[in-house]
Amino acid sequence: MAQTPQTLTVKLDLSDTGSQIAQYIRQEIKNRVAAIDPQGVAGTVADAIDRVRTLHRQEYGCCAECTHESGVVWPCATIRAIDGPTEH
Ligand SMILES: [Zn+2]
């Protein structure tokens, strides 16, 4: 008789600083990221993208950064480039 895989699904708030399980998983993620990205390039890129998104934010249906005299409809080309192609 074939065994049925046993699974347990739980929701865990990784930002819960009081949870030892969340703390363990956060540290485990840091260790694994450090192993594959010792220079922290991923974090540097993520920070740069955050700065671009802070500039190119939506205001009244247009991009706050790209809109000058004429409105540039949201999302602007910069945000579309970051988000990548979307399926239609
Ligand atoms: Zn823009």
- In tens, the pLDDT along 4-61 reads 889 999 899 998 989 999 999 999 999 999 999 999 998 899 999 999 999 999 999 9
Ion ligand 1, residues whose Cβ is below 5 A away: 56, 63, 65-66, 76, 78
Query: Ligand 1: distance of its center to the CA of 78 in Å?
Result: 5
How many Å apart are CA 45 and CA 42, to the nearest integer?
5
The pTM score is 0.60
Q: Which residue stretches of 38-86 are H helix? A: 41-55, 77-83
74 domain residue, yes or no: yes
56 domain residue, yes or no: yes
69 domain residue, yes or no: yes
Residue 51's pLDDT is what?
97
Query: Ligand 1: distance of its center to the CA of 43 in Å?
Result: 22
Domain coverage including residue 78: 20-83
3 domain residue, yes or no: no
10 domain residue, yes or no: no
Strand ranges (DSSP E) for 1-88?
58-59, 62-63
Number of domains in the chain: 1
Query: Ligand 1: distance of its center to the CA of 88 in Å?
Result: 22
12 domain residue, yes or no: no
Sign of CA dihedral 35, 36, 39, 40: negative
